[in-house]
Each structure stands twice: as C-alpha cells, then as structure tokens.
Amino acid sequence: MNNLKMDLSSNGSPLSPVIIVENIASQLACSPVDKKVALQMDEEDELKYFREHFHIPKVKDLPPTNLALVDEDENCIYFAGNSLGLQPKKIKTYIDEELDKWAKMGVHGHMNGKRPWIFGDECIVELMADIVGAHKEEVALMNGLTVNLHLLLLSFFKPTTNRYKILMEAKAFPSDHYAVESQLQLHGLNVERSLLIIEPRKGEETLRIEDILAVIEKEGDSVAVIFFSGVQYYTGQLFDIPRITKAGQEKGCLVGFDMAHAVGNIELCLHDWGVDFACWCTYKYLNTGAGGLAGAYIHEKHSQTVKPMLTGWWGHEFKTRFLMENKLQLSPGINGFRLSNPPILLVCALQASLEIFSQTPMKLLRKKSILLTGYLEYLIRHYYSEDKEDPEKTYVKIITPSHIEERGCQLTLAFSIPVKSVFKELEKRGIACDMREPNALRVAPVPLYNSFRDVHRFIEILGSAITSAEQTADSTAHS
Ligand SMILES: *Cc1c(COP(=O)(O)O)cnc(C)c1O
C-alpha cells in the first residue's frame, strides 16, 4: 500500500485529499475518521523524518496546560507555526560556534572561521532566494519585516498629483497598515483619500479575485502602489499573486507583497511572476525564533533604477567598502538597501532553518501540506456543521477558502460559542494554536514537523474542548 506515492488519478491530475483519505480508509477497511488512517498516512509520509530536526515542546512545559487533563509526557500538538515556528535543533550548535569564535579570537571573527561575520548574510542568501523563487541578487537578509517594508515603500511609493494611492486588502496585519498609513502621512497625503482598501462582499469573509481585479481596473490609474499580503494572516487566504501583479502592472502600478505568511508555506516564484518588491519575516514558517532576521526582495528589472532613500555603509560595494573614503559606491538593487553589518547570531538561526528547507523542494513540502490541511478540513467537516440551525452538530465554520490554490497550511475557524472559551480549553489540554479577536481560532498544521496523528489528536481534543466550553456557557446562562 503506497497511497501517497500513487496519488495521481488516471488522467494524471493530483487526487484531492478527500479521495486519498477515503481510499486509505477503504484499503484498511475502517472509517475515514479512524485513527488508523492517520497512522497509515504518517507511515507513508516521505517527509516524516524532518520532525526530528526540531524541538517539540512537551505538554507539561506549556504554561496553560492543566496537568489533570493530559498525559504529561506527551508532545504538545503544535499548530502555532504560523505565529512562531518551532526551534531547529541545529540553531544552538551554530550559535555556540560563533560565541566560541568570538570568545577565542574577538575581532578576527569578522574575516575568519566557517562563517566570517562580514559575509554572514551573503553565505546563506542563496538558500533564501530558492525558497522565494528569486535570484540571489534580488534578495537581502536584514532588519525586521516592518523596517524592510518602510525602506521599500520609501523607494517604491513616489506619489504624483494623479497617481498617489496605495491599495491594500481590508484588515491587513496592523503593522503593515500602520506602515502604509505613516508613509502616506510622510508625503503629506490625506490617509482617507489615499488609502484604498478592498473589503470582502457583505456576508463574506475572504476576497474574490474578480473583485480585486475590478478595483484595479477601475481605480488603477490613481494607484501608485498595490501592497497585498501573499497569504492573509487572519483568514489564511492565499491571493493570486501573479494575477494581481499582472493586473496592477498593466495599469502602471508598482506591486509589492508581504510574504510573512507565505514564505516556507507555499511555492513562490517572485522573479518569474514579476513582483516588483516584497518583504517577509522568518520566525513564522521559517522557524528562526522571535525577532529573526527578515528578508527583502526587489526584482532585477529595478536593480539600476530603484535606489534606497536611506543609506548606510553596508549598501556600499564590498570591494571598496572598507576604504572609508566617504564616496558612496552603491551596490545595485536590494543590496544597496543594506544599512548595517549583519547580526551574526540571527544569521546562525536562519542558516540552521534554511538548511532544513534545502533538503527538500518546496513542491514536496507543499504536497504534504495540502494533504495534511485537507485531512484536518475533512475531519472538521465530518464532526461539525457550517449551518447554525443544524440540530445534530455543533457549528464550526472554516473561514479559509476550501480551494487548495487559495490557501496555505492554516485554517481559520469560527464558532458560535465564544472562541475564547474554546481556546482556553484547548490550551489546558496541551494544544498550541492561536486566537485572534473577534472570533477566530487559527490552526496551522506545518508539514515540516506536524504529523497526521497530530491532526487526528487535535480533532479528538477539539471535541472535548468544545463540550467543556458549551457546558461552561450553559452553566453561566443558568446561574
Ligand atoms: C508577523 C507579521 C508582521 C510582524 O512584523 P515584525 O516587523 O516582524 O514585527 C507584520 N506583517 C505581517 C503581515 C505579519 O504576518
């Protein structure tokens, strides 16, 4: 039995997760919701060994766990990789190497050892470029995400009398929203007139591509920059990056993306899609730890024309950088945007993470991810209903689009009972996931370190968490 490898239908197209799950169940002669199906899928998972590269927290070590409700030696179910990825075991080794080097040779560490500090970022930038589908000259590793967004907008947003707007999706991540707002203000623009926001249709949670394209068509002539997320952090919606890029550019707009929730999650081809600029953090699916070294990208077509508005010595060409003559010889493209020497301890963390990714193509990770998240969706649809009037089943709605081309690994769930109480009950039982106001639970099975068994256990525990939350709601209603 080898379903994961035989997962093409007779016409060669990929089988849907539903069909794969049901095929396995019928071969095992059990129900599709039986734990045996999860164990079989783990057995067949070619990527299962990647889990060994990570520290998986134990339930007993998670602060909200109620020890009476769990087996304390169990690993936790970590579905919070969309917020902060787990720690690759190699990070500590690499950081220790640089701490030792510093202790032993001090300033000589800049030029010596296996990771000369002055080239720290450049040594690993190619690994990052592979993940985002760019040439290595198009990517720099520097700063944090929001800082990079500001640096890019300073150069890409050049409003004129007729073209002065920035177009974004509604409810963008607050930092992106504030960054854009403050950039408009920096140019003395009125935010209300200049910030164009696309909202979902009434009664809908996610955006339709035809609505996005219609706004671009209608308003494009006055839009200077279109700035969208690749994958929306709240809804988990994956936008059609190539179509938005093409439509915007046909209208004369520059098009940039925040890839924070897309990088390491879906396959990206920033260069081939012609995306003008992009930025991302690395502590979510790229697992580099809080505040990790961020990434920025500028398409090579801009390498001679788009210049940084703020400069520092690290943007100066390497050959003459240390002559200290104070005559700036700017590196082309994104490399000219570098300001400071790279933080080597953050480089170590990023290197450990990128080396894990380099062991498998994104295509394979994505293939597992589609099945893993599809399995989660399958089980949720089996046990719960999206109809609030359903007399049999509790209401749980999946806000994230069900088309696999329109999502990454995250599913966002909405409940009719208060989400906060469901979340608390999950946390007591050793689940790490994420709650966002007003009413969303975000769960992200990550293909690098989550298993099909994790998904199955999650569903079992979600059942008891919901029962418990319903009882609490009932008893408060009656008291
Ligand atoms: C995580 C995230 C951020 C966080 O920004 P930092 O500068 O890394 O603190 C910003 N925007 C988006 C879309 C994110 O997902």
Q: Which residue has the tokens 């077509």?
A: 301
How many C-beta atoms surround the C-beta of residue 99 within 10 A? Answer: 13
Query: Would you state the pLDDT for residue 15?
Result: 76
Query: Would you state the pLDDT for residue 181?
Result: 98
- Closest residue by Cα to residue 32 from 383, 373, 365: 383
Query: Would you state the pLDDT for residue 310?
Result: 98
Best of 84, 142, 143, 146 for a ligand 1 pocket test (most atoms within 8 Å of beta carbon): 146
Cβ 271 under 6 angstroms from ligand 1:
no
Cβ 155 under 6 angstroms from ligand 1:
no
261 CA: nearest ligand 1 atom: 15
In the reported structure, the alpha carbon of residue 105 is separated from the centroid of ligand 1 by a whole-number distance in angstroms of 36
In the reported structure, the alpha carbon of residue 295 is separated from the centroid of ligand 1 by a whole-number distance in angstroms of 12
Best of 143, 145, 153 for a ligand 1 pocket test (most atoms within 8 Å of beta carbon): 145
Q: CA 464 to CA 477: how far, in whole Å? A: 20
Average pLDDT over residues 405-421: 95
Query: Would you state the pLDDT for residue 475?
Result: 76
Confidence check: pLDDT of 190 > 90:
yes
Cβ 234 under 6 angstroms from ligand 1:
no
Query: DSSP H helical segments within 329-451, as ranges?
Result: 344-357, 362-383, 419-428
The model's pLDDT over 55-80, given as tens digits with 9 standing for 90+, comes to: 999 999 999 999 999 988 999 999 99
Can you give the pTM of this predicted structure? 0.95
Query: Would you state the pLDDT for residue 479?
Result: 54
Quickly state the pLDDT bin for 472 (edges 50, 70, 90).
confident
The model's pLDDT over 196-249, given as tens digits with 9 standing for 90+, comes to: 999 999 999 999 999 999 999 999 999 999 999 999 999 999 999 999 999 999
Angle at 336 (CA atoms; ends 232, 284), nearest 5 degrees: 25
Query: Would you state the pLDDT for residue 5?
Result: 44
DSSP state of 168: E
In the reported structure, the alpha carbon of residue 261 is separated from the centroid of ligand 1 by a whole-number distance in angstroms of 9
Confidence check: pLDDT of 1 > 70:
no
The model's pLDDT over 4-53, given as tens digits with 9 standing for 90+, comes to: 444 555 566 667 999 999 999 999 999 999 999 999 999 999 999 999 99
Q: What percent of the chain has pLDDT over 90?
A: 93
Cβ 227 under 6 angstroms from ligand 1:
no
Annotated binding site for pyridoxal 5'-phosphate: 145-146, 173-176, 229, 258, 261, 283, 313, 341
Cβ density class 390-425: b for 16+ within 10 Å, e for less: eeeebbbbbbbbeebebbbbbbbbbbebebebbbbb
In the reported structure, the alpha carbon of residue 282 is separated from the centroid of ligand 1 by a whole-number distance in angstroms of 10
Q: Which residue has the tokens 């995400």?
A: 145
Average pLDDT over residues 248-266: 98
The model's pLDDT over 434-453, given as tens digits with 9 standing for 90+, comes to: 998 788 999 999 999 999 99
In the reported structure, the alpha carbon of residue 233 is separated from the centroid of ligand 1 by a whole-number distance in angstroms of 9
Best of 83, 141, 151, 176 for a ligand 1 pocket test (most atoms within 8 Å of beta carbon): 176
Query: Would you state the pLDDT for residue 425?
Result: 96
Quickly state the pLDDT bin for 3 (edges 50, 70, 90).
very low
Confidence check: pLDDT of 2 > 50:
no
Closest C-alpha to ligand 1, atom 15: 260
